[in-house]
Amino acid sequence: MPSRRMTILFCLFTFLIIVGIGVSYWWFELRYLRSFGEQTALFDGSQLQLPQELAGPGPIRLVHFWDPDCPCNEGNQQHLRNLTARYGDRNVEFYSVQKPGSTGELPTMLQGRLKALPTIPGAETLPASPAVAIWDSTGKLAYVGPYSEGMICTAGNSFVEPILEALSSGRKVEAINTLSVGCYCGWNS
């Protein structure tokens, strides 16, 4: 039969583990979970443009905005890889814009799947990353905002797949003002 002292130590240890998990979860939420749309007016589409060499009619263009130092990118890397595999041969071109002043490379699974752009006009107005902007085949901005709502990005909670499906079938999409809560890092901070 365990001694009373061992039982108390075990209970104390279990309590400390539970408190540690709770504090870690609370810290993660406070640091990375915030409203993406606090500055919704910035997503009016009037300032975000494709570079001149990509503007105008052509394929659907998706631009991935990312920060190599943001842990929130981990949640959407596999999702982005799946998007490139699914839509890469469906007249969709994929580009990436890295946060200005940051250093790092795309993960191995994404290298060669996205064409790097140094920046695009209006990118400085983005409030957070990871984010995505999608232009239709006429060169008009169809969507700008987060990949999804929630802590992780998957096809199940994504805004991107329905937009790409609609654009691929010739339907018009205009979703340039978005509100979402999820895991994001500041773009200009």
| DSSP line for 159-181 | SHHHHHHHHHTT----B-----E
Domain edges within the chain: 4-33, 35-186
pTM of the model as a whole: 0.76
Local mean pLDDT, 10-residue blocks, the chain (189 residues): 82 90 73 44 65 93 93 82 91 95 89 93 86 93 83 71 92 70 75
**pLDDT the model gives residue 76:** 82
> Would you state the pLDDT for residue 176?
61
What pLDDT sits at residue 38? 35
> According to CATH, what is the number of the domain 35-186?
3.40.30.10
Cα angle 177-106-152, degrees, rounded to a multiple of 5: 50
Report pLDDT for 65. 93
Residue 159: Cβ within 10 Å count: 19
Is the bond into 130 cis (omega within 30 degrees of 0)? Answer: yes
At what angle are helices 77-87 and 160-168 packed, to 10 degrees? 10
Q: Return the bridge partners of 96, or none.
A: 64, 116
HSE (CB half, 13 Å, CA atoms) of 97?
Answer: 26
pLDDT for residue 155: 62
